[in-house]
C-alpha cells in the first residue's frame, strides 16, 4: 500500500468516525501539495461539506486533527480554505525509500497468464519509398506505448502491416524495369528502400513530363492523364501481378526483398521491433472473403454495378464502399482481412492502431464493421490518433523538398550530438569507438525524447538543434544527469562505501530530500496514467521533473563529502534509486541512458 492509499483509508475512517457516514473512494481526492504551500499531500474537503454541515475551514481542521491523532504517518497539517495540506513524518519517507530500494523494477508490473492481450499496430510503411519523418513519430509512439502497456501488466504483441501491393508499388517496379539497367543495392551502394524510392520519384518525373507533352498538344489535364501510356503500363503491371504472372511476381519479390532489408536497418538504428509482420499482399484476399461472407449474411449490400457496400446510417455515418464493381479491394477491405488473420493468430482482448489523425474517420468505420462482422474486440478498438510532425524549413535534407528521410534524420542527429559533445568536452579521453557510441546514444535519445515529450495528439515541429541541448527539457539533459549519478556511485564504490539495504528511520531529512523521495515514489502512478492515456509524454515529462529536482538536490547538498555517515548513506541510496527510476522511465520511451558521458 502506498502513502496515498494509506492516507485515503485513514480519511475514510476519519469521516466515518467524525460524521457517522461512509464515503466512496472516488470522493477522496488527494494530490501533491503545491510548492508554494507547506505539506506533502493535499486533501480536497469540499465533497464532505454536506456531511459535516460546517464550512470548509472548520471541516478541514476537524479532519486534520483526527488524522494527526490517529494516523502515525501524519506529523502535521495546515488549512488553506477548503484544502487540507498534510505533512508526512520523516520516518515514513525513509520507510518508503527502503521499500523502493528493495523492490525489483520498482513501478513496473509483470504480466501473468490472466493478463489481457493487447495488440499494437504501428509503422505501416509502403514498399515504394524509405521511412520518413512521419514514420519516425509513428514508430517511436508505437514502440513506447507497447512498452508502457507491458509495464502496466499487459501481454503485448507488436505488429506491423506492410503495404506491399498496389499501383504505387508497380510505379517503382516499372521505372526500374524501364530505366534501371539491372541495378541492385549492391551495384549502386544504396540501401534497398532508398533505391526503390528513387525509382518511384523517377516514375513521377517521367509521368509529369509525359503529361506536360500531351497538354502542350492541346489536351486537358484529365485527357492527358487518361491518355498516359506510362500510367497504362503501370496498371497493366498491376493486372499481371494480380493474375500471378511469373516474371512480374518475381520482380516484385526481388524488389520488395531489397526494401525489407533497408527497413530492417532503419528499424534497428531506431531501436524498434515487431513480434509479427503482416503484408497487404497476404491479407487483402482474406478481407474480400470476409466481405463476401458479410454480404451472404445480409450484413452488407450489393449495388447494380457489383460493388459491395456497408450501410452505416444507423450509426450516424454514410455508406462505405468495401469492394469495387470489378472485385478489387479498398484499404478498408485489407484492414478487415488483416483483423481476421490477427484474430486467428492471437486471442486479442484489445487492438490499438497507431495511425495519424487524418485517418480518424477510417477507424471509426472500421470499428463498426469489425463489430458487425463478429470480432469481439472490434467495437472497443483504439485508434491512437496522433498529430503530424514537421521540421523547421531548411534544417534537414529532404528527398522531394517536403519528405524528410528517417535515415538522413538519424545520421544528422548523431553527427550533431558528436559535434555538440566535442564542443562541451564530454568526449575527452574517449576512443573513437566510445565517442561514436556516446554520440549515437545521445543523438537518438535527443530525437526520441523531443518527439515523445509532446502530447501525441498535438501537431509538433521537431527542431534538431534544440533537441541536442544539454540543458532544459531534453534527452541529453536527462542522460547527462543519469551519467552524473552513476559517476557519484562509482566513486563511492571505489572508496569502499557499501550501500545499505535498510536505512534507519531516525534521520533528519530536508524538505528537498523528502520531496525527491515523494517524486520517486510517484513513479508507479505515472506509469499507470501513461498507460490509461496511451501517452509517453506523461513519462517523459515526469522523468524531466525528477531529474530537475535531483540536480537541485545535488547542487544544494554534499553527498560523498557528507561527514554524517547515516546521511551520506541515505543520499547515496536516494541517488541510486533516482537513477534506477530515470533508467526505467527512459526505457519505456525506448531511450538508453549511458553510465558515462
Q: Which residues, in sequence order, are bridge partners of residue 354? A: 384
Which pLDDT value is given to residue 401? 43
Residues near 553 by beta carbon (within 8 Å), at least 6 away in sequence = 512, 513, 516, 574
Environment class of residue 316 by beta-carbon count within 10 Å: exposed (0-12), middle (13-18) or buried (19+)?
exposed
Q: According to the model, what pLDDT value does residue 227 have? A: 95
DSSP letters for 214-264: HHHTT--HHHHHHH-HHHHHHHHHHHHHHTT-HHHHHHHHHHHHHHHHHHH
Q: Which pLDDT value is given to residue 390?
A: 78
Q: What domains lie within the chain, and their CATH numbers?
A: 3-88 (3.30.1360.70), 161-274 (no CATH), 406-588 (1.10.730.10)
Confirm if 416 and 444 have CB atoms less than 8 A apart. no
Q: Which residues contact 50 (CB under 8 A, 6 or more apart)?
A: none
In three-state form (DSSP H/G/I as H, E/B as E, the rest C), the secondary structure along 482-544 is HHHHHHHHHHHHHCCCCCCCCCCCCCCCCHHHHHHHHHHHCHHHHHHHHHHHCCHHHHHHHHH
**Lookup result for grid cell 513521377:** 204
117 forms beta bridges with: 155
Phi, psi of 387 (to 5 degrees): -85, 170
Q: With beta carbons less than 8 A apart as the criterion, state whether 550 and 446 touch.
A: no
* The predicted structure's pLDDT at residue 330: 84
- C-beta of residue 277 within 8 angstroms of C-beta of residue 162: yes
* pLDDT tens for each residue of the chain, 597 residues long: 689 999 999 999 999 999 999 999 889 999 999 989 999 999 999 999 999 999 999 999 999 999 999 999 999 999 998 899 999 999 999 999 999 999 999 999 999 999 999 999 999 999 999 999 889 999 999 999 999 999 999 999 999 999 998 889 999 999 999 999 999 999 999 999 999 999 999 999 999 999 999 999 999 999 999 999 999 999 999 889 988 999 999 999 999 999 999 999 999 999 999 999 999 999 988 999 999 999 999 999 999 999 999 999 999 999 999 988 877 788 899 899 999 999 999 999 999 999 999 999 999 999 999 999 988 888 889 999 999 887 776 443 433 445 788 999 999 999 999 988 888 888 888 888 988 999 999 999 999 999 999 999 999 988 877 888 888 899 999 999 999 999 999 999 999 999 999 999 889 999 999 999 999 999 999 999 999 999 999 999 999 999 999 999 999 999 999 999 999 999 999 999 999 999 999 999 999 999 988
Question: What pLDDT score was predicted for residue 399?
Answer: 38
How far are the Cα atoms of 217, 416, 483, 488 from residue 543, in angstroms, in the given order? 64, 24, 14, 19
Of 145, 374, 418, nearest to 272 by C-alpha is 145
DSSP 378: S
Amino acid at each position: 500500500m502506498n502513502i496515498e492509499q494509506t492516507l485515503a483509508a485513514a480519511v475514510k475512517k476519519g469521516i466515518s468516525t467524525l460524521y457517522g457516514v461512509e464515503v466512496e473512494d472516488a470522493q477522496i481526492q488527494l494530490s501533491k501539495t503545491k510548492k508554494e504551500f507547506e505539506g506533502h499531500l493535499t486533501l480536497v474537503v469540499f465533497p464532505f461539506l454536506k456531511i459535516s454541515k460546517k464550512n470548509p475551514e472548520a471541516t478541514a481542521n476537524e479532519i486534520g486533527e483526527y488524522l494527526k491523532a490517529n494516523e502515525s504517518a501524519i506529523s502535521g497539517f495546515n488549512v488553506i480554505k477548503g484544502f487540507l495540506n498534510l505533512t508526512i513524518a520523516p520516518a515514513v519517507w525513509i520507510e518508503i525509500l527502503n521499500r523502493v530500494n528493495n523492490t525489483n523494477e520498482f513501478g513496473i508490473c509483470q504480466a501473468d497468464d490472466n493478463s489481457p492481450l493487447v495488440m499494437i499496430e504501428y509503422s505501416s510503411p509502403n514498399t515504394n519509398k524509405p521511412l520518413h519523418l512521419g514514420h519516425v513519430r509513428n514508430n517511436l509512439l508505437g514502440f513506447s506505448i507497447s512498452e508502457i502497456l507491458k509495464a502496466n501488466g499487459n501481454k503485448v504483441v507488436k505488429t506491423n502491416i506492410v503495404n506491399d501491393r498496389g499501383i504505387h508499388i508497380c510505379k517503382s517496379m516499372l521505372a526500374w524495369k524501364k530505366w534501371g539497367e539491372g541495378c541492385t543495392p549492391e551495384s549502386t551502394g544504396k540501401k534497398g528502400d532508398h533505391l526503390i524510392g528513387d525509382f518511384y520519384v523517377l516514375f513521377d518525373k517521367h509521368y509529369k513530363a509525359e503529361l506536360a507533352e500531351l497538354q502542350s498538344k492541346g489536351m486537358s489535364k484529365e485527357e492527358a492523364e487518361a491518355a498516359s501510356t506510362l500510367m497504362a503500363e503501370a496498371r497493366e503491371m498491376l493486372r499481371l501481378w494480380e493474375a500471378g504472372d511469373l516474371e512480374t511476381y518475381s520482380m516484385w519479390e526481388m524488389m520488395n526483398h531489397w526494401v525489407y532489408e533497408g527497413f530492417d536497418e532503419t528499424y534497428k538504428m531506431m531501436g524498434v521491433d515487431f513480434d509479427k509482420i503482416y503484408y497487404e499482399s497476404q491479407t487483402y484476399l482474406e478481407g474480400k472473403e470476409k466481405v463476401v461472407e458479410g454480404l451472404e449474411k445480409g450484413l452488407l449490400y450489393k449495388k447494380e454495378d457489383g460493388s459491395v457496400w456497408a450501410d452505416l446510417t444507423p450509426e450516424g455515418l454514410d455508406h462505405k464502399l468495401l469492394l469495387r464493381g470489378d472485385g478489387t479491394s479498398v484499404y478498408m477491405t485489407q484492414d478487415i482481412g488483416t483483423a481476421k488473420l490477427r484474430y486467428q493468430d492471437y486471442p486479442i482482448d484489445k487492438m490499438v492502431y497507431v495511425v495519424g489523425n487524418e485517418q480518424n474517420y477510417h477507424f471509426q468505420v472500421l470499428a463498426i464493421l469489425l463489430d458487425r462482422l463478429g470480432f469481439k474486440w472490434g467495437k472497443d478498438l483504439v485508434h491512437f490518433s496522433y498529430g503530424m510532425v514537421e521540421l523547421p524549413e531548411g534544417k534537414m535534407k529532404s528527398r522531394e523538398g517536403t519528405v524528410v528521410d528517417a535515415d538522413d534524420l538519424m545520421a544528422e542527429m548523431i553527427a550533431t550530438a558528436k559535434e555538440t559533445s566535442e564542443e562541451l568536452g564530454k568526449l575527452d579521453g574517449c576512443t573513437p569507438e566510445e565517442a561514436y557510441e556516446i554520440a549515437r546514444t545521445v543523438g537518438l535519445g535527443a530525437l526520441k525524447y523531443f518527439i515523445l515529450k509532446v502530447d501525441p495528439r498535438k501537431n509538433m515541429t521537431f527542431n534538431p538543434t534544440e533537441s541536442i541541448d544539454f540543458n532544459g527539457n531534453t534527452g541529453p539533459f536527462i542522460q547527462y544527469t543519469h551519467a552524473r549519478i552513476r559517476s557519484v556511485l562509482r566513486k563511492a564504490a571505489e572508496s569502499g562505501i557499501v550501500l545499505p539495504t535498510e536505512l534507519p528511520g531516525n534521520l533528519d531529512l530536508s524538505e528537498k530530500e523528502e520531496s525527491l523521495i515523494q517524486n520517486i515514489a510517484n513513479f508507479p502512478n505515472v506509469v499507470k496514467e501513461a498507460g490509461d492515456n496511451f501517452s509517453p509524454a506523461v513519462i517523459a515529462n515526469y522523468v524531466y521533473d525528477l531529474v530537475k529536482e535531483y540536480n537541485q538536490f545535488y547542487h544544494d547538498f554534499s553527498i560523498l563529502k557528507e561527514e554524517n555517515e547515516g546521511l551520506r548513506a541515505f543520499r547515496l541510496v536516494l541517488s541510486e534509486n533516482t537513477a534506477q527510476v530515470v533508467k526505467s522511465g527512459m526505457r519505456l520511451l525506448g531511450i538508453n541512458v549511458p553510465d558515462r558521458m
